[in-house]
Amino acid sequence: MDLTIPTADLEWKERAKAFAETHLFPHEVALELNGHLPPETLASLRQAVIDAGLNGINHSREDGGQGLSLLQQTLVNEELGKATGGLWAVVWHPAIPLRYGTAEQKRDYLTPSCAGRRRGAYAITEPGAGSDPRLVSTRADRRGGKYYLSGEKWFVTTGDYADYLIVHAHVDGDPEKPTLFLVDKDLPGVRVQRIPKFMHTYVFGHPEFVFENVELAPSKVLGQIGQGFELTKDWFVEARLQIAANCLGAAIRAAEVANAHAEGRVQFGRPIRDFQAIEFMLADMAVEIMAMKSLVYRIAAEIDRGLDRKLVHARASAAKLYASEASGRVIDKALQILGGRGYMRESPVERLYRDIRVDRIWEGTSEIQRAIIGGQIKKRGLSAYTGWA
């Protein structure tokens, strides 16, 4: 069994590493202190993404993307995940359901999104609907050959920076007809209610949107009527694997910082890494990272080889669950090794400590991942997770 990563894939990893260290890391402290980056800085970063060839890595070249495999995307997202403040988000990944759009929709939304001329945001969560999308109350009522969208969406990540939204709604209020709609933000009836502040710093915002009888043509339906949940599941799979890769990168950076500190910090006449308490923490961190990397890489490679779609969803949940929780444990130990220095906001470990906590919540909580995994075990047996295929 050859588990060697191809040279071409590693070249993408090195490209992303150079991009993160050159273009993202230098802005971390300013973003943390100011809470935002100036428009001219964001414009410069957008151009840097294009110059590095990292735009639209998750879409085909025919649609304007880079056509990377999922393993290649994972390697890229691992390196980007080392940046604090959610700066990895400046490298855009147009939502995967756009690949199922019509030729007109691809022309107007997907291709310009891959090129960086447009930016979308996915809107599904509501005040009363999160883990259970059947509780979505946002509705699109059909009248006179058009749709009229009304409702409220929360936690629309990057919604402040995006110029269009992909909105998950129920046609005529029927939960059996979940459907995705392409909604330009400048349409009458679309407004931002507020942009709440969160525990983590994030380069973009997570606004709450209100839709008041927004008129939409049938051409704004993405996919088919009633197909929204399946397309959203595809988006969740992609998002969960990206989160897992980002978590892996965050854990590696924290461990590297802690390891260097343990080598250079001298107490009682010797480096603190020579004390067993510190040595054991570093050992545990290394093993957690090794296990995380093995799991995330394996699942990405399996999907590239054509893993059964039902197992894709099952294993993406496992990757997201383990990586989000393991990275939290690694970063917690890293902060402990750094001591008071790790508690200062100028330390990347302190920032990662806050950044990483949301990964156990968004795009499906750890509890939802466990429910998915438990359900898959009931349907398919333990071999869905314990077998090797």
Catalytic residue positions, numbered: 363
- 326: Cβ–Cβ under 8 A, 6 or more apart, which residues? 247, 251, 288, 289, 291, 292
CB atoms near residue 305 (< 10 Å): 11
On whether the CB atoms of residues 337 and 261 are closer than 8 A, the answer is yes
Residue found by looking up tokens 């980002």 in the block: 246
Query: What SS3 state is found at 143?
Result: strand
Rg of the chain, C-alpha, whole Å: 21
Between the alpha carbon of residue 317 and those of residues 24, 112, 136, 322, 386, the distances in Å are 28, 30, 22, 9, 14
Q: How does strand 146-153 pair with strand 139-143?
A: antiparallel
- 281: Cβ–Cβ under 8 A, 6 or more apart, which residues? 258, 333, 336, 337
Instruction: Specify whether the backbone of 231 is left (phi greater than 0), alpha (psi in -120 to 50) or beta.
Output: alpha
CB atoms near residue 95 (< 10 Å): 24
H helix count then E strand count, the chain:
12, 10
H-helix or E-strand spanning residue 141: strand 139-143
Chain centroid, CA 323 distance in Å = 12
Query: What SS3 state is found at 181?
Result: strand
- 174: Cβ–Cβ under 8 A, 6 or more apart, which residues? none
71, HSE (Cβ side, Cα atoms, 13 Å)? 21
Between the alpha carbon of residue 42 and those of residues 109, 198, 204, 213, the distances in Å are 21, 21, 10, 33
